[in-house]
């Protein structure tokens, strides 16, 4: 009886921490090439604040390995990849908010 109680307690604690282990690591950033519009930076902290965990998107929407998915704007606009949420209903619409994801390098002008 005592062993069963200990086992149940250990399992309960393990299950409680599974959600934490699967959460997007705070501060985690992943950069992707974004073509002429500039690189795209995925910020795990922003998605975690929205209540998302890794398993909300992986492996169903995105493969776990960076670069394993060929992501295009056409696919995103069709509701694939980022567009599964960034459709104007769940999260901001990607079509009208390019600069929220794409970051162009700013030119530094000497003497200013």
Residue ranges per structural domain of the chain = 2-103
Cβ-in-10-Å burial (0-12, 13-18, 19+) of 94 comes to buried
The tens digit of pLDDT for each residue in 69-87 reads 999 999 999 999 999 999 9
Mean pLDDT by groups of 10 residues along the chain of 112 residues? 63 51 61 91 90 92 91 96 96 94 77 62
Concatenating the DSSP letter of every residue in 16-79 gives HHHHHHHBPPTT-EEEE--GGG-EEEEEHHHHHHTT-BHHHHTTTTS-SSTTSS---HHHHHTT
With H, G, I as helix, E, B as strand and everything else as coil, classify residue 83: helix
CATH code of the region 2-103: 3.90.10.10
Instruction: Report d(CA 23, CA 25) in Å as an integer.
Output: 6
């Amino acid at each position: 009886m005592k062993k069963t109680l200990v086992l149940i307690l250990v399992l309960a604690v393990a299950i409680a921490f599974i959600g934490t282990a699967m959460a997007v690591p705070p501060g985690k950033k992943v950069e992707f090439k974004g073509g002429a519009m500039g690189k795209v930076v995925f910020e795990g902290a922003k998605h975690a604040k929205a209540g998302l965990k890794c398993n909300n998107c992986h492996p169903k929407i995105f493969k776990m390995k960076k670069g394993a998915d060929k992501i295009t704007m056409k696919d995103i606009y069709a509701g694939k990849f980022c567009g599964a949420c960034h459709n104007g209903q769940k999260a901001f619409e990607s079509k009208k908010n390019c600069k929220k994801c794409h970051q162009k390098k700013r030119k530094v002008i000497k003497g200013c």
